[in-house]
Amino acid sequence: MHTINKTALSIAVALACSMPLNAQEASTDKKQASEKETVSLEVISVTATKRKTRLMETPVAITALTEAELKRNGVNSVKDIANLVPGLDISTATDQAAPVISMRGVRSTNITELGDPAVGVHLDGIYSPRMQGALALMYDIDRVEALRGPQGTLFGRNSTVGSINVISAKTATLRNLANCLGRCHLDIEIAVAAPYASGLACLVEDEIDLGVTIVDMGGGTTTIAVFYDGEVIHADSIPVGGQHVTSDIARGLSTSLAHAERMKTLYGSSIPSPSDERELIDVPLIGEENNNQPNHVPRSLLNGVIRPRMEETFELVRSRLEVAGMDRVAGRRLVLTGGASQLQGARELATLVLEKQVRMGRPMRISGLAEATSGPAFSTCAGLVRFAAGQHADVRDQLNAIPNGVGGRLSRFSHWLRENF
């Protein structure tokens, strides 16, 4: 009997001691579970006040849309963000196919480059004077900042009731390219800016010494580089290129992208001519490619779609150079290259807008290239070959690293281009 009481007492003491322990363990488990359920808020940084600040700490009525939010909502142009920003309304002027942006019920109907819109559109802080160009700024975007209220102190007189600032992506494209190459078991040894590579292929030594600006017009971007005293002193990129011209033609003439590219190549021009009104071109409508009924439109209609986009591109180039203080460093010399620069009249239009002496650039320091690969569209590729041959040399040495007609790997590469293209 004494043993049973002692055993019962031991069990009671053990239970009494374990109850607080179990309660403490249960409390710890609840605390850990609550910590796991706690979701930290994403910290979004904006540059609405011309300096980088946190969104929640910025003393401005602002809506910031990240890249993920833009993709999730299917945003492809400035018009698409109207449903995501309070107090913002974007309509389209039927006569000019340009967006009319109003904020808090205030807008301006003068949508030309000479007018003062109520809401200004900026690309990386640079004002876009033509509202038509705002429809094509949503490519390779990091975020969009919509500021409500007068912004004249920060963005000038064109932001009476608000401003929309489109921030282009900085490293996402290169990171995606590195991931794609990594899946192919390849590594990036070094990254070379496209305009720098194009300069190695298109420029002569005197131009690099005296100063020159090279503009490489690609499909999705237009890149800029300024050479002076044998060095590259400035490089920049604009998210507008030849594909945007093709897209404008497809939308404006209601045709497919393939036919739009064909018409741009065969009939397109940046400079109007007196015969444009009389010359008719066949434009197959979307879905009616196999229809025998022709759809003829004057060539002037096609060129009327092309010229505003090309003007917009060159105006953005001029703005970027002026903001960076590089518009006069390189003098009046400018070299235009890239696939989109082959559009008829591009050189003449660049001369008018940029007010510089413009020449067309093409690979000229690699002999033996086939005719199909010796045009401006292959300037960057040819420059990369020259860079790889003289990777550790400066610009002047790289220009002279590969004399014309030299054998070896470069000769074999030129032979391969001739056979395959």
Residues 206 and 326 placed together within one structural domain of the fold: yes
Better pLDDT: 65 or 38: 65
In a domain, 35, yes or no: no
pLDDT tens string 407-417: 455 555 555 55
Confidence of residue 404 (pLDDT cuts 50, 70, 90): very low
Mean pLDDT of the region 202-224: 90
Residues 285 and 313 placed together within one structural domain of the fold: no
Give the CA distances from residue 238 to residues 24, 167, 216, 222, 301, in Å, rounded to whole numbers and listed in that order. 61, 11, 10, 5, 26
In a domain, 8, yes or no: no
Helix or strand (DSSP H, E) at 22? helix 2-37
CATH number at residue 352: 3.30.420.40
In a domain, 334, yes or no: yes
pLDDT tens string 306-363: 999 999 999 999 988 887 788 888 888 999 999 999 999 999 999 999 999 999 998 8
Residues 187 and 332 placed together within one structural domain of the fold: yes
How many domains does one find in the chain?
3
Confidence of residue 12 (pLDDT cuts 50, 70, 90): very low
Per-residue pLDDT at 347: 93
Last residue of one domain, picked from the residues 260, 286, 305: 305
In angstroms, the CA 134 to CA 256 distance is 22
Last residue of one domain, picked from the residues 251, 272, 305: 305
Residues 155 and 197 placed together within one structural domain of the fold: no
Helices (H), 187-298: 194-202, 205-210, 242-253, 257-266
Q: Which residues contact 365 (CB under 8 A, 6 or more apart)?
A: 200, 201, 382, 386, 399, 402, 404
Residues 55 and 90 placed together within one structural domain of the fold: yes
pLDDT tens string 154-207: 777 777 788 888 877 666 667 788 888 888 888 888 878 888 888 888 998 888
Residue corresponding to tokens 């092309």: 306
Q: What percent of the chain has pLDDT over 90?
A: 14
Residues 298 and 259 placed together within one structural domain of the fold: yes
The sign of the torsion formed by the CA atoms of 288, 290, 292, 296 equals: positive
Per-residue pLDDT at 224: 92
Last residue of one domain, picked from the residues 305, 331, 349: 305
Dihedrals φ, ψ of 414, to 5°? -65, -40
Better pLDDT: 308 or 12: 308
Residues 377 and 356 placed together within one structural domain of the fold: yes
In a domain, 166, yes or no: yes
In a domain, 11, yes or no: no
Per-residue pLDDT at 405: 43
**Window from 109-118, 241-250, 299-308 with minimum mean pLDDT:** 109-118
Residues 209 and 318 placed together within one structural domain of the fold: yes
CATH number at residue 270: 3.90.640.10
CATH number at residue 54: 2.170.130.10
Please choose, from the candidates 118, 96, 97, the residue with its C-alpha nearest in 3D space to the C-alpha of residue 107.
Answer: 118
pLDDT of 419 > 80? The answer is no
| β pairing state of 333-337 and 212-217 | parallel
In a domain, 29, yes or no: no
pLDDT tens string 250-297: 988 888 888 899 999 999 999 988 888 888 888 888 877 666 677 888
Residues 159 and 86 placed together within one structural domain of the fold: yes
Better pLDDT: 223 or 106: 223
**Average pLDDT of every residue of the chain:** 76
Residues 218 and 316 placed together within one structural domain of the fold: yes
Residues 200 and 347 placed together within one structural domain of the fold: yes
Domain residues for 250? 242-305
Mean pLDDT of the region 58-73: 79
Its pTM stands at 0.57
In a domain, 270, yes or no: yes
Cα-Cα end-to-end distance for the chain? 105
Residues 82 and 216 placed together within one structural domain of the fold: no
In a domain, 17, yes or no: no
Better pLDDT: 27 or 82: 82
